[in-house]
Amino acid sequence: MAGLRNSYTKGYVPPIHDFLISDLNGNNYTDDFLGAEHAVFIISPFLEKARGDAWIKVAAVVDWARRNDVKIAILTGSGREEIEAFGKRYAASSWPFYQADGTVLKTMMRSNPGLMLLHKGTVKDLIPARRLPSPEELGRKIGSAR
């Protein structure tokens, strides 16, 4: 065995490796969402660049998730001031906003906003803004992920 050297090649590093979900106070909720039976992420890397017409459907999704005890987060790279201004503009101040790195969010979802469905931390569906489901369709999609 003389002459053999121990060597290894670094494995694949996924493009999303610094994923962190925090509230506006900086508290980390990443494990809470990824460990949930079902979670819905509304992803908007930057609120000011999002499709305005999609937020009516997002409001219905937020309401449905709350009524059905499904964990939901609106993930954005926007800052506190932008989130507060958005909340006033769209009467969304009670929505579950969380912050994440905008570049990571753009990697996760190209549409702004877009919807990501998770089952026990595994992505089950990605839905762009132009195809956001009705609450009934969302219920069927989540039900089929069980």
Q: Which residue has the tokens 């039976």?
A: 37
Closest to 56 in 3D by CA, of 36, 67, 73, 42:
42
| pTM confidence score | 0.84
Average pLDDT over residues 57-67: 92
What's residue 93's pLDDT?
85
Closest to 70 in 3D by CA, of 59, 80, 61, 83:
61
For the chain, the domains span: 30-144
pLDDT confidence band for 58 (50 / 70 / 90): very high
Average pLDDT over residues 108-117: 94
CB-based burial label for 28 (10 Å; 0-12, 13-18, 19+): exposed
The helix (run of H) or strand (run of E) holding residue 17 is none
Give the CA angle between residues 117, 123, 126 to the nearest 5°: 55
Q: Which residue has the tokens 């201004």?
A: 85
Sign, CA torsion 17/23/26/27 = negative
Nearest 10 degrees: Cα torsion 70, 75, 79, 82: -80
Q: Are 116 and 108 in contact (CB under 8 A)?
A: yes
CATH fit for domain 30-144, picks 3.40.30.10, 3.30.70.360, 3.40.50.80, 3.40.50.300 = 3.40.30.10
Residues 54 and 130: their CA atoms lie apart, in Å, by 7
Q: How many CB atoms lie within 10 A of CB 114?
A: 24
pLDDT tens digit sequence for 43-52: 999 999 998 8
Q: Decide if pLDDT at 1 tops 60.
A: no
Q: Which two tokens stand for residue 46?
A: 């930057």
Q: Are 73 and 96 in contact (CB under 8 A)?
A: yes
